[in-house]
Structure 1
Amino acid sequence: MDDVATLKSENANQRRIQARLLQWEQKDNGLAPLSAAQNEFINQLAESLGGGAGTGGGGSANQEEVMQTSFELKTSLDDFKSSSNAAIDSTQDFLSWYNSIDSEILEHFDDVYLDYYEQLRARSAECDNLLGEIDVSLESLKKLTNEYNFVSEKTSSLHQASENLLQDQTRLNEIGEDIRKRLKYFTQAESISQRLQNPTFSVSNDTFVDILNTIDDCLEYMRANPTFSEASAYGIKYRNCLSKATQMMKNYVSNVLANATAQILAKDALEQGSEAAFALFYGKFQASAPKVKRITATIEERLERSVEYEQLLAALHQQFLAQRATIMSGAVEQAIRDLGRKHKGDHCALVRSACAFMVHVCQDEHRLFYQFFAQPSGQLTAYMEGLCTILYDTLRPFIIRIDHLETLAEICSILRVEMLDEHVNYNPESLEAFAKIVYQLLQDVQERIGFRAQNYLESDILNYRPSAGDLAYPEKLEMMESIAASLQQEGSSYLRRADSRSSIASLASQEVEQINSGEGMAKFRGGSGNSPADLHGMWYPTVRRTLVCLSRLYRCIERSIFQSLSQQALTYCIQSVSSAAGQIAQRKSSVDGELFEIKHLLILREQIAPFRVDFTVKETSLDFSKVKTAAFELLQKRKQLFALGSNNALLEFLLDGTPQVREQLLDSRKDVDRQLKMVCEAFIKDATRQLVGPILNFIETAQNHLKQTATAPAPTPQQGMALRMAAFAAPQQISSIIQESIRAIKTKLGPLQRSMQLYLANKDTEFILFRPIRNNVLGSFVKLEQLLATNSYSRDDLTIVSCPSAEQVSVLLSSVNLGQEGVASAPQRKISSSSMGSGGTTKPPIEKKM
């Protein structure tokens, strides 16, 4: 009943809701009235959706529902009529009937819901049954899950146990494999030892390398695991096996090398020629190289693994080199002796051929060694040094007996340039031993050169005794000038002039020309003239010898030794030239001697310019001057010899009497410049005295007279005219002195300039030397004029004296100079065009030194 009441209340609520909904569209007081636009929009939607069919269908459904309801009510009414109580007698009956009708109507309306309710109850019962079955299923699944988990746990346990067993099996297998691997290093000792003791087993067998690998691995394993049981004992066994293997390799290589040596040293092979013998010396060994190379390569691959291999390789090196020394020592010595007999007397050819032979031997031995071995060895260098020592022992006796500097210099050039610079620099590795021996030989040659150079400088330069032809100046120059003029007149070609020069110049002079033909001399020859004195053959012998000696020594000896010898050579040369100039001055005139010395000093300075060395030498000496002073003081303080204090005389002597070390720098270039300056000053002085000597003598006499007069005790009124009153200073005497000087200028200036042209043949040098002479001449006349003007000479006296002015003297000098140039221009042009000199004289920068 509760359900029915609930259903009725719900129906009442639904009717109320329906009534409320109907009130929405009431025209009057509608709860939610629609506007015309909204209704039109709704109609448009309805038309678009169904075109009005939906509305007609809806109306038909409602009409059917009303008809069904009317039919049901009619049925109920019929039932009411047919019933026995069909009469309605009272209101109560009507109400009852109405109530029943109303109830029936209500029940009729609730039938649908009741049917649905019954269906829901049926479905609910079915769901309850289904839930029950689900619970039973869940119980079954839970039981099944528990059983599955139990089975799974058992299976996992079994699987884990299986994995553990497999791991144990793997670990045991690894342990067993590790044990087998470790036992392998212990179990192979006996088998290896037996195979090595087998007499049929050879080093050339292919398995020998495998045995060496096994021995090396086992030894390395024993050294890496010294704590293993019996590791030391097995290490000794494997070392014994290694010793046997190395001895087998050593014996094998020794036998191969010995057989090759025996074949080479056979009598028939030694009787062959030298070239065939040397071909055999290398051919036999080269044929044996592949056999030995395989063994040595195996050894060299294992040098880092064991000391025994290093010792074995060193022993094989020694055996190989000993066999080669047995073959090559005698052959090399005999070959060098044959070269000595072949080039007897020609030391340069002997040195060149012997060194070239040793170069080939060293290269062949180096190449042969590396055909057997790949690793370098110090024994190879020692062996080749032994072979090269034969060369040294053979050549040194010849070298120490050579006296000629040219020969020694050429030998030095052969050793330094051809051997060390060319061969050794291009093959430093194969010629290392050869380079050491050649360097020792070069030092011996340089020492011999230094010794012979000192003797040569003393005997042929310092102590040179010139012949009459050496001092025939200026005759030699005039003769060469005439020869040049005759050649020019005959129209000789350049080649004939060159032949003429070659006939004059010696081999030594050509050497100097070759030395000085470099870039360093180009700037000195640019503006130089030509003179017969420029010919090398016309140089003074000591100058030529000095320059040739220096040119020889420059490329041969060390720079420090060359500096010392060059300083000594230039000093001796300057002394020799100065001595020759003195003899020429005694024989001819002081001007000839001085020009001779100036010319040769210029040549000397020019020729030493290309030597790119410092000619400065430091000399160390002891100064004993304080020793003498200290000794005198010691004698004066005899009483203080044993004094106790700072005044002890003996102590003062020891402190003050110590010799002092003094260092002095000697520069040969400056010595040449210094001597040149001194000679030029002497020449200028002598030339000036030749031209105006009477005037200079008068000026000196007058100055001395004036000094004596000025020192007189009682001055007199005529003291200002003391010079005028002197007889030697009379106007007539002074006039004669002036005239004599003018005559000297006119007669001697031309020959003086001619001599300068003949000796110097350089206008710049002549101008530099002549300018101070000209200035001195002008200055002497100016001094004379000033002397006359300051010593009370009257106008009449000056007229008698007729002293020319500086301008007049300058015009006189110029006129004489122009006349001399006109006379000398023709022969000078001939000399210049003939180009008889190998090069012009240097323009001397002595202007600042004048």
Structure 2
Amino acid sequence: MSVNLINLEHAEQKKFQNRVLMWDDKMLPLAKLGNEQVCILKKLEKKSDTNANTPKQVEKHKVDNETEVCQADFLNSAPIEATPEFLSLFEKFDDMHLGSSNNVYSEFYNQMSNRKKECNILYEHIEKIQADLDILIKEYEFVYEKTSLMNTASDKLIQDQNTLNEITSEIRIRLKHFNDVDTLIQRLQNPTFSVASDTFTEIISNIDESEKYIRNHLNFKEALAYEVKYKQCRLKAVQMIKNYVIQILATATDQVLNPKLQSHQKEEQNSLEKKSETSFAIFYGKFQVSSVKIQKIIRFVEDRCKMYSAYEDLLSELHQYFLTQRVIIMSSSVDDTIKNICVKYKGDHCTLVRSTCTFLIHICQDEHRLFYQFFSVKSSQMLSYLEGLCNILYDNVRPFIIHINHLETLAEICGILKTEMLHEHVQQNFEALETMEKVLQQLLQDTQERLVFRAHLYLQSDIQQYHPSPGDLAYPDKLEMMESIAVALQDSNQIDRLDSKAPSLPVDSEQQAAMRTGNSPADMHGMWYPTVRRTLVFLSRLYRCVDRPIFQCLSQEALAYCIQNLSSASNSIAAKKTNIDGKLFEIKHLLILREQIAPFRVDFTMKQTSLDFSRVKTAAFELLQKRKQLFSISSNNALLEFFIDGAPEVKEQLLDSRKDVDRQLKISCEFFITNVTTEVVGPVLSFIENAEKFLKQQPSSQPQIESSGIDSLRKCSWSAPQQIHSYIQEAQRNMKNKLPGIQRSMQLYLSNKETELIMFRPIRNNIIASFVRLEELLVTNRYSNDDMLIVNIPTADQVSVTLSSASLLVDANYFQQLKK
């Protein structure tokens, strides 16, 4: 057993050694040692080698040797034969083994016993120390309790001290508002104290702050009395500010009115017409210098206007005094200057209006700029002041305007006021020229009123009642003369080009016809009939000068008078020349009117209200028939019915000037087309009309009678084939002889190929239709083939060719005249 134990010990020891060796194994270290740890182990190894021969080690080696010797003797002893021998041997071995193997344990046991004694001693010391610590803890808790009580008392004392300090500070602050009032009164009553000093604003701030505080704490003792004192202080300060500002403004005004300048500068004092540097320095320089002195205090007052009414009243008084001084300086000067301008440009009303308005615009801008150099708050008194200056302009200029009779002058003045002054100047700086805008609007309204008044007189005298001279009605002579002038001018231009050896193209028929496309001298503005020219000039002048409703009313009246006068002139020309000349004259100028009024972007429609009294007559007649029921109580009271049924009816009618022009143009064109058709194929149309009347007079109830009626038309002498043929021949002669002259007149008057074609197309259609109707009439009334051969009615194509040849003949004759 002991051997097994020894083997186990060796095995455990070896296993322990192996595990120790694996701690620092290179492949799988259990606990890898650092460099420092390896160095320590090497040092320990060296030290252990030096101490290997110590006495304890020697003794241990001896014991080990003895044990080995005893074990060898035991193993080499005689064999055991009996139990007692075994027991004695076992006891001996046991004693030997205990003596050899338990020395280490005995020694360890002794050491542990010694350690236990030491621990017991240490435990006794620890219990003693613990007892001492318990005493210290109790003493610490006592001291801590006392210290906490002392800290609590100290914190309370500090808190009480802070509370007292706050109360003291608050009391000091409250008392400050009561204690400072006497000091403030003394400083304000000091005659050497100036408003311009920096401390003055601080004093006013203190007064405002203290009064506000006292007003919020009227429950304090004597608060009302101190409030009154602070109000007196404020009134004193306000009065000092007022006196200071008034003194500076009065000084500036005195420097302007009594400048210490040379004599030529004194002469310029009462005239602002020339905005020279000297005059500007006189009227504005002194005040600009003064603004620097009082600008700070005025800004200070303006900041407090919303807080206290006293400052608001002070600011209003300062505004009033400042503007009063400016009125003293500017009113007479502005009035004299405007009067001088009016005298200078008395004959030129447009320059007068432009110069006076421009002058006053500059004055308003300068006054506005000067006012805001002193103040930053807008004032209604400033508007009143500028309005007074502007009224000077109105009072001086209006008498000239209301006595102007010339329409063009009035229209130009309207343009100056509306475009140059209101749009270009006022709208660009409306804040400074707000009052100027009102005065300009009044002048514009007065000018427009005068313009409308003179326009009505002009329309009546120069358009409606216009009496043309013989030269105005010299048509078509006037047009022929202008056409010859145009041809002469063209020939002279060609000769000039040939003389200069410049390349020129031959003048062909298309270039000659280009003279009749609207660029002819006969179609120039100067060749228009005077009433047409005056009407269009009148409308163009008034288009941008008056309001749209007024323009619509005047345009309606002007066009109505013009159409009426054109119709009268057309009748006069027709009486002297021919109906064709009269109607072409009217058509030409109606086309001009329609073309020239098209660009006006207004509605020429006007609503006209009138009373219709047609029902009054009927109601009065019924009243006479019901005289017995005049005072009837029943519902059939005649008098009541008269008042109900006999009331005049209000009717509204829309008048359109453009439609009136188109309507008159349509009537004139239809009359011209009918007249030309009658001139060319009048005999044929007369025969057709007579034949239709004759056939209507014949009875048509029975077929026999109808047949005899148709045959009777052929038997009439005026409807014989030979007679009808004469009608056709006469119409064909007219187409060859009269139609070229008519087309020539159309060329001369209309001067536009497209318009001529439009006008000639219905004439052409009517001529062709007249021959077609004649053929249908003869066929319907049983004219035989022989009769039709005698009549020899031309076909539609033949008539068309004849008309085209007539047109070509007109162009050929026209070109021959040009070549001549």
* TM-score of the aligned structures, taking structure 1 as reference length: 0.81
Rounded to whole Å, the distance in 1 between the matches of 2:572 and 2:403 is 37
Structure 1 counterpart SS, 2:718: coil
Distance change (3 Å), C-alpha of 1:19 and 1:408: closer
CA-to-aligned-CA distance 1:539-581 (integer Å, 9 cap, x gap): 1100000000001000100111111111111111111111100
Contact 1:485 1:827 (8 Å CA) reproduced:
no
- 1:748 corresponds, among 735, 738, 741, to 738
Does residue 1:182 correspond to 2:174, yes or no?
A: yes
Q: State the one-letter code of the partner of 1:353.
A: S
CA-to-aligned-CA distance 1:638-691 (integer Å, 9 cap, x gap): 555555565555554444444443222111111111111110000000011111
Q: CA deviation at 1:327?
A: 1.1
Distance change (3 Å), C-alpha of 1:667 and 1:379: same
The answer for the alignment partner of 1:52 in structure 2 is none
Q: State the one-letter code of the partner of 1:66.
A: T
Task: State the identity %.
Answer: 54
Contact 2:483 2:522 (8 Å CA) reproduced:
no
Does residue 1:785 correspond to 2:775, yes or no?
A: yes
Rounded to whole Å, the distance in 2 between the matches of 1:780 and 1:92 is 185
Does residue 1:374 correspond to 2:370, yes or no?
A: no
Structure 2 counterpart SS, 1:64: helix
Structure 1 counterpart SS, 2:698: helix
Rounded to whole Å, the distance in 1 between the matches of 2:62 and 2:680 is 174
CA-to-aligned-CA distance 1:601-621 (integer Å, 9 cap, x gap): 010111111111111111222
CA-to-aligned-CA distance 1:420-464 (integer Å, 9 cap, x gap): 111112211111111110011101111111111111111110111
Does residue 1:815 correspond to 2:811, yes or no?
A: no
Structure 1 counterpart SS, 2:519: coil
Structure 2 counterpart SS, 1:491: helix
**Which segment drifts farther, 151-160 or 567-576?**
151-160
**Which segment drifts farther, 432-441 or 647-656?**
647-656
- 1:684 corresponds, among 659, 666, 673, to 673
Q: State the one-letter code of the partner of 2:128.
A: V
Contact 1:216 1:305 (8 Å CA) reproduced:
no
Q: CA deviation at 1:494?
A: 11
The answer for the alignment partner of 1:265 in structure 2 is 257
CA-to-aligned-CA distance 1:154-193 (integer Å, 9 cap, x gap): 1222122122212211221121112112221221111111
Q: State the one-letter code of the partner of 1:204.
A: A
Contact 2:67 2:96 (8 Å CA) reproduced:
no
The answer for the alignment partner of 1:516 in structure 2 is none
- 1:303 corresponds, among 295, 302, 305, to 305
Rounded to whole Å, the distance in 2 between the matches of 1:707 and 1:92 is 192
**Which segment drifts farther, 124-133 or 743-752?**
124-133
The answer for the alignment partner of 2:599 in structure 1 is 610
The answer for the alignment partner of 2:563 in structure 1 is 574
Q: How does 1:48-127 map to 2 (within 5 A)?
A: 64-67=65-68, 69=70, 105=96, 108=99, 116-127=108-119
Q: State the one-letter code of the partner of 1:458.
A: Q
Q: CA deviation at 1:108?
A: 4.0
Structure 2 counterpart SS, 1:620: strand
Contact 1:392 1:441 (8 Å CA) reproduced:
yes
**Which segment drifts farther, 629-638 or 136-145?**
629-638
**Which segment drifts farther, 750-759 or 107-116?**
107-116
Q: State the one-letter code of the partner of 1:258.
A: A
Rounded to whole Å, the distance in 2 between the matches of 1:695 and 1:94 is 194
CA-to-aligned-CA distance 1:47-82 (integer Å, 9 cap, x gap): x99xxxxxxx9x999961425647999xxxxxxxxx
Q: State the one-letter code of the partner of 2:544.
A: R
Q: CA deviation at 1:18?
A: 3.0
**Which segment drifts farther, 674-683 or 719-728?**
719-728
Structure 2 counterpart SS, 1:617: strand
Distance change (3 Å), C-alpha of 1:104 and 1:604: closer
- 2:128 corresponds, among 126, 136, 139, to 136
Rounded to whole Å, the distance in 1 between the matches of 2:169 and 2:530 is 99
Q: CA deviation at 1:301?
A: 2.5
Rounded to whole Å, the distance in 2 between the matches of 1:212 and 1:728 is 123
Rounded to whole Å, the distance in 2 between the matches of 1:233 and 1:159 is 48
Q: How does 1:186-335 map to 2 (within 5 A)?
A: 186-266=178-258, 271-272=267-268, 274=271, 275=274, 276-277=278-279, 279-335=281-337
The answer for the alignment partner of 1:347 in structure 2 is 349
Q: CA deviation at 1:297?
A: 1.8
Q: State the one-letter code of the partner of 2:756.
A: E
Q: State the one-letter code of the partner of 1:747.
A: N
The answer for the alignment partner of 2:5 in structure 1 is 18
* Higher RCO, 1 vs 2 (CA within 8 Å, ≥6 residues apart): 1
Distance change (3 Å), C-alpha of 1:730 and 1:424: same
Distance change (3 Å), C-alpha of 1:137 and 1:482: same
Structure 2 counterpart SS, 1:738: helix
Q: How does 1:276-675 map to 2 (within 5 A)?
A: 276-277=278-279, 279-491=281-493, 528-638=517-627, 640-641=629-630, 647-675=636-664
**Size of the alignment, in residue pairs?**
746
Distance change (3 Å), C-alpha of 1:348 and 1:113: closer
Contact 1:615 1:669 (8 Å CA) reproduced:
yes
The answer for the alignment partner of 1:710 in structure 2 is 699
Structure 1 counterpart SS, 2:191: coil
CA-to-aligned-CA distance 1:201-242 (integer Å, 9 cap, x gap): 221222211111111221232333343333333222212111
Q: State the one-letter code of the partner of 2:699.
A: A
Structure 2 counterpart SS, 1:529: coil
Distance change (3 Å), C-alpha of 1:95 and 1:638: same
Q: CA deviation at 1:795?
A: 2.9
The answer for the alignment partner of 2:149 in structure 1 is 157
Distance change (3 Å), C-alpha of 1:249 and 1:829: farther
Q: CA deviation at 1:702?
A: 1.5
Distance change (3 Å), C-alpha of 1:344 and 1:106: closer
Contact 1:706 1:722 (8 Å CA) reproduced:
no
Contact 1:731 1:798 (8 Å CA) reproduced:
yes
Does residue 1:758 correspond to 2:748, yes or no?
A: yes
Rounded to whole Å, the distance in 1 between the matches of 2:751 and 2:792 is 37
Distance change (3 Å), C-alpha of 1:232 and 1:656: farther
Distance change (3 Å), C-alpha of 1:60 and 1:215: closer
Structure 2 counterpart SS, 1:796: helix
Q: CA deviation at 1:760?
A: 0.5
Rounded to whole Å, the distance in 2 between the matches of 1:220 and 1:771 is 98
Q: State the one-letter code of the partner of 2:200.
A: F
Contact 1:457 1:572 (8 Å CA) reproduced:
yes
Structure 2 counterpart SS, 1:469: coil
Q: CA deviation at 1:632?
A: 4.1
* TM-score of the aligned structures, taking structure 2 as reference length: 0.84
Distance change (3 Å), C-alpha of 1:526 and 1:240: farther
Structure 2 counterpart SS, 1:271: helix
Rounded to whole Å, the distance in 2 between the matches of 1:439 and 1:285 is 31
Q: CA deviation at 1:329?
A: 0.9
Q: State the one-letter code of the partner of 2:304.
A: R
Contact 1:457 1:569 (8 Å CA) reproduced:
yes
Rounded to whole Å, the distance in 1 between the matches of 2:811 and 2:169 is 118
Contact 1:531 1:758 (8 Å CA) reproduced:
no
Contact 2:700 2:706 (8 Å CA) reproduced:
no
The answer for the alignment partner of 1:824 in structure 2 is 814
- 2:164 corresponds, among 172, 175, 181, to 172
Rounded to whole Å, the distance in 2 between the matches of 1:398 and 1:696 is 66
Structure 1 counterpart SS, 2:813: helix
Structure 2 counterpart SS, 1:704: helix
- 2:688 corresponds, among 699, 703, 708, to 699
Distance change (3 Å), C-alpha of 1:630 and 1:92: closer
Rounded to whole Å, the distance in 2 between the matches of 1:530 and 1:826 is 20
RMSD: 3.5
Distance change (3 Å), C-alpha of 1:70 and 1:827: same
Rounded to whole Å, the distance in 2 between the matches of 1:733 and 1:576 is 44
Contact 2:448 2:545 (8 Å CA) reproduced:
yes
Rounded to whole Å, the distance in 1 between the matches of 2:94 and 2:689 is 190
Rounded to whole Å, the distance in 1 between the matches of 2:661 and 2:451 is 25
